[in-house]
DNA sequence: GATGAGATTGAGAATCACTCGCAAAATGGA
DNA sequence: TCCATTTTGCGAGTGATTCTCAATCTCATC
């Protein structure tokens, strides 16, 4: 199913309207492959002629999170960041503190162990975030 | 070694002064066992008669992080949160989305696997944060 | 113990990401 | 088409954090 169809279904189920602003934002999300923040998304939309108020962008992002189209990731420089999630497997992040590069990885064993930890504490997980900060291979070479 | 001695050493090594404000904040940190945020720390200090400007608290916390006395943890409600780290083992967090309770846990196998992931990507880790959000045993019982 | 260069502090203004309030406009089921 | 309901844009408001800068404190050195 296409994200847009899923999103329409989500809106209808919740008595919300599918507006042109929401359509535009969804297009922006799909276009921006990879991580983005509210401001970057707003800028990108402006570039393609879709000028929405930034309040609308901020107001709409949670809907996309709730519907599973995107998910919030580690915030950086005080800004909430997002990444597409629709149809993608869960993964975690390595974040280079020197160059800012973000490397995604997935490790099933790691996932399994986390579930075990939750069981041990009778904890029902909803989501988790693992972020490892350090130096990527490039920056690691350059010293310190 | 006591935290205060370690901290003095850290300051000297960096050409910084050991001031009464910093001593007071350190005392506050030690007193507040467990997680805290800048505002809570400021309030606590005020309660014991140490009235520092909140700018000073904000300015000083990074020094304690750098020196390894505390570390930043998952932020909550838009606030940066910290926990004591001096002399304590690393651990990760389960965070209840219903009641806000934070459960600490440690799993060596999990740590080991993360190192493996880093090796696989030639990534030199500096720190990592794993936060699992969900429902704790108490809140899980109450439904949904 | 006095001195001075440099570090630190307080108070309030400034930032910055984000949210709110409200009137005007868009949506969509009947 | 009509209208109750939802959205939007704008600008003002928030709340955490940071900055500015003059006054104050530290501490190595004298």
Task: Tell me, yes or no, whether B116 and B133 share the same domain.
Answer: yes
| Confidence class for position A143, pLDDT limits 50, 70, 90 | low
Q: What is the CATH number of the domain that holds B124?
A: 3.30.1490.190
| Confidence class for position B78, pLDDT limits 50, 70, 90 | confident
DSSP structural state of residue A71? E
Read off the pLDDT of residues A30-80 as tens digits, 9 standing for 90 and up. 998 789 999 999 999 999 998 899 999 999 999 999 999 999 988 888 899
Task: Tell me, yes or no, whether B99 and B52 share the same domain.
Answer: no
Query: Inter-chain contact B133–A128, Cβ cutoff 8 Å?
Result: yes
Domain limits for position A115: 92-141
Q: Does A109 touch chain B (CB under 8 A)?
A: yes
| Confidence class for position B143, pLDDT limits 50, 70, 90 | low
Q: How far apart are CA A75 and CA A54, in angstroms?
A: 19
> What was the pLDDT predicted at A22?
97
Residue A96 tokens read as 């280079």
The answer to whether residues A41 and A22 touch, using CB atoms and an 8 Å cutoff, is: no
CA distance A126 to chain B (A): 4
> What was the pLDDT predicted at B140?
83
Across the interface, of B94, B114, B124, the residue whose CB is closest to A121 is: B94
The answer to whether residues A140 and A126 touch, using CB atoms and an 8 Å cutoff, is: no
Q: Give the nucleotide at minimum CA-to-C1' distance from A78.
A: C17
| Tokens 């992080």 -> residue | B65
Which domain-ending residue is among A40, A65, A84? Answer: A84
CB atoms within 10 A of CB A135: 23
Q: Considering only CA atoms, give the Rg of chain A.
A: 18
Pairing relationship of beta strands A70-76 and A79-84 according to DSSP bridges: antiparallel
The count of structural domains within chain A is 2
Question: DSSP assignment of chain B, as one string?
Answer: --HHHHHHHHHHHTT----HHHHHHHHHHHHS-S-EEHHHHHHHHHHTT----HHHHHHHHHHHHHTTSEEEEEEETTEEEEEE-TT----EEEEETTT--EEEE--HHHHHHHHHHHHHTT-EEEEEEEEEEEE-HHHHHT--
Task: Tell me, yes or no, whether A115 and A77 share the same domain.
Answer: no
Task: Tell me, yes or no, whether A77 and A36 share the same domain.
Answer: yes
């Amino acid at each position: 199913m296409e994200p847009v169809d899923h999103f329409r279904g989500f809106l209808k189920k919740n008595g919300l309207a599918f507006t042109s602003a929401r359509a535009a934002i969804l297009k922006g999300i799909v276009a921006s492959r990879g991580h983005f923040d509210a401001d970057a998304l707003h800028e990108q939309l402006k570039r393609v002629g879709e000028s929405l108020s930034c309040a609308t962008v901020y107001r709409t992002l949670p809907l996309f999170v709730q519907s599973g189209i995107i998910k919030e990731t580690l915030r950086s420089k005080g800004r909430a960041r997002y990444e597409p999630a629709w149809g993608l497997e869960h993964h975690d992040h390595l974040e280079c503190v020197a160059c800012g590069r973000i490397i995604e990885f997935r490790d099933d064993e790691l996932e399994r162990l986390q579930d075990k930890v939750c069981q041990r504490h009778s904890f029902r997980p909803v989501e988790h975030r693992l972020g490892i900060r350090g130096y990527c291979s490039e920056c690691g070479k350059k010293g310190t």
